[in-house]
Structure 1
Amino acid sequence: MSAEKRELPLAVEAAAVPPRTKPSNYPEPFYSRMLKREKRALGDQFGLKNFGVNLTRLRPGGESALLHRHSKQDEFVYIIEGQPTLITDVGEIELTPGMCAGFPAAGVAHQLVNRTDRDVVYLEIGDRSPGDTGTYPADDIEARLGADGRWLFTRKDGTPY
């Protein structure tokens, strides 16, 4: 492909990528829990379709997501700065810069929480498997990835939000 036909960049400064304008796709009462989270969709800058990469910042008291697991999606996080707590349905562990964690599809439910007084910055990587669903053991919510790539949320009894 010639340089004049390429519209996507070859490289970017990650911190210069604008943050997502909407902090979460969750409906209330869960949306407001994500207000201390800022994601920069790095993979989208390059037109990546098979997986996503986010540079995420959690301010003190912030959560990466609700405690969740995916049916088909694998996820991976790499801590750049700060000390988040990795919460799972089998225990907790404090993470430090340079540590990473991976979550195979249908594995343990997980989330990161910033219990410190300093920001946490990490990379999160996940695939975009069609037909994925999300389950949330601690909250009355379920998610299904629609054909358009958007998450559809219901209560556990199936009623929509």
Structure 2
Amino acid sequence: MRKQAPISATSIPASMGKTIYPEPYASLVQGRLKRKLGEFFGLTNFGVNLTHLSPGAVSALAHSHSKQDEFIFVLEGTPTLVLGEEEFTLNPGDCYGFKAGTGIAHQLVNRSEASVVYLEVGDRTAGDEVEYPNDDLKATQLPNGTWALTRKDGRPIR
């Protein structure tokens, strides 16, 4: 890989509402704009995303990882952190780490009238599984790193 000069994070291409979720879940993240900073620089051990949530948008379905840790740092706005059965209003400068294997589901929800901007960092430990306690979904990371979505009982999603 060749050296490159530092660049503005906002110059990295972004995807609006892109997700592996099927409908009706996919529409919930339509107001999410994600810039995959880590992928842009070829990082393979962890991911870093600069994420914007429009008013009313969610970061993801409430979920927990079996093997991959996650971390968020709020840059702008006041998202609501849904953490299991509890909710917390976050402010710029607030952060939170989600330890894998706890089974505690989490998501960010923008219930404000302004955009939310945050950094999310996650490791890429192989063999991860993601549980969605509020939805009939399960994600399993395949050996090639891609994700397979099924119903909780293993049935395929049609």
TM-score (normalizing by structure 2): 0.94
Matching of residues 10-159 of structure 1 within 5 Å: 10-20=5-15, 23-107=18-102, 108-159=104-155
Give the Cα–Cα distance (whole angstroms) in 1 for the partners of residues 72 and 4 of structure 2.
Answer: 24
Q: Which runs of 5+ in 2 are unaligned?
A: none
Compared CA separation, residues 21 and 34, structure 1 to 2 (3 A): closer
Provide the aligned C-alpha RMSD in A. 1.3
For each residue in 1:58-77, what CA deviation from the matched residue of structure 2 results, as whole angstroms up to 9, or x when unmatched?
A: 00000000000000000000
> Structure 1 residue 10: deviation in Å?
4.4
Paired-residue identity, %: 51
Aligned length: 156
For each residue in 1:94-149, what CA deviation from the matched residue of structure 2 results, as whole angstroms up to 9, or x when unmatched?
A: 00000000000012210000000100000000001100000011111000011222
Give the Cα–Cα distance (whole angstroms) in 2 for the partners of residues 9 and 74 of structure 1.
Answer: 29
> Structure 1 residue 42: deviation in Å?
0.1
Amino acid at match of 2:143: A
Amino acid at match of 1:116: S
TM-score (normalizing by structure 1): 0.92
Q: Which region of structure 1 is more displaced relative to structure 2, 119-128 or 9-18? A: 9-18
